[in-house]
């Protein structure tokens, strides 16, 4: 079988950042898949599932309530390797277009207190597997990249 595009990215040199993973044409529309890379693959520790899960719940809640992006958000969810997330948005977009969105989203996660939205057995398949403190930690860490982002953290390179 053909190697899919996301497996051709050199994970040995990949650093935390915001990258365009792919663009797909769906009918007349373009949808952009972003690689929100939070930790350097095969170099730094990965996120544990409880914080991945917490960021997923809070990030999805933020995006689905955003005045501009709620209608453009197709999907937000974790990578199986637990080094980041995929965000799929309607539109032909570049990484720099969404930096402000991500800064406000990860500030929301960093500062969030109280019960995580959807943290109940009715609303979630594993509602006890959440860790808000570690979600705060990872959001704070990713914001250090996002708030001072440089070109090399916006475009894949070899
Ligand atoms: Zn859940």
- Compute, in angstroms, the gap from residue 61 CA to the centroid of ligand 1: 12
**Residue 132 — very low, low, confident or very high, per pLDDT cuts 50/70/90?**
very high
**Cα distance between residue 126 and residue 93, in whole Å:** 33
Which of 30, 14, 57 shows the shortest CA–CA distance to 153? 14
pLDDT at 8 over 90: no
**Phi, psi for residue 11 in degrees, rounded to 5:** -75, -10
pTM across the whole model: 0.95
Mean residue pLDDT across the chain: 96
**Cα distance between residue 29 and residue 70, in whole Å:** 17
pLDDT at 63 over 80: yes
Span 79-121, pLDDT tens digits: 999 999 999 999 999 999 999 999 999 999 999 999 999 999 9
Note the pLDDT of residue 88.
98
- Compute, in angstroms, the gap from residue 69 CA to the centroid of ligand 1: 21
**Residue 124 — very low, low, confident or very high, per pLDDT cuts 50/70/90?**
very high
**Cα distance between residue 156 and residue 19, in whole Å:** 6
- Compute, in angstroms, the gap from residue 124 CA to the centroid of ligand 1: 4
């Amino acid at each position: 079988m053909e190697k899919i595009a996301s497996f051709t990215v050199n994970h040995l040199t990949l650093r935390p950042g915001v990258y365009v993973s792919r663009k797909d044409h769906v009918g007349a529309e373009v949808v952009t898949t972003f690689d929100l890379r939070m930790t350097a693959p095969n170099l730094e520790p990965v996120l544990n599932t409880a914080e991945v899960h917490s960021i997923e719940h809070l990030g999805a809640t933020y995006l689905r309530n955003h005045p501009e992006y709620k209608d453009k958000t197709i999907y937000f969810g974790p990578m199986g390797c637990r080094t980041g997330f995929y965000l799929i948005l309607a539109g032909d977009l570049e990484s720099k277009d969404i930096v402000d969105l991500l800064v406000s989203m990860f500030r929301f996660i960093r500062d969030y207190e109280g019960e995580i939205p959807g943290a109940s057995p009715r609303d979630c398949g594993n509602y006890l597997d959440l860790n808000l403190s570690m979600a705060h930690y990872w959001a704070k860490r990713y914001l250090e990249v996002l708030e001072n982002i440089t070109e090399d953290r916006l475009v894949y390179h070899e």
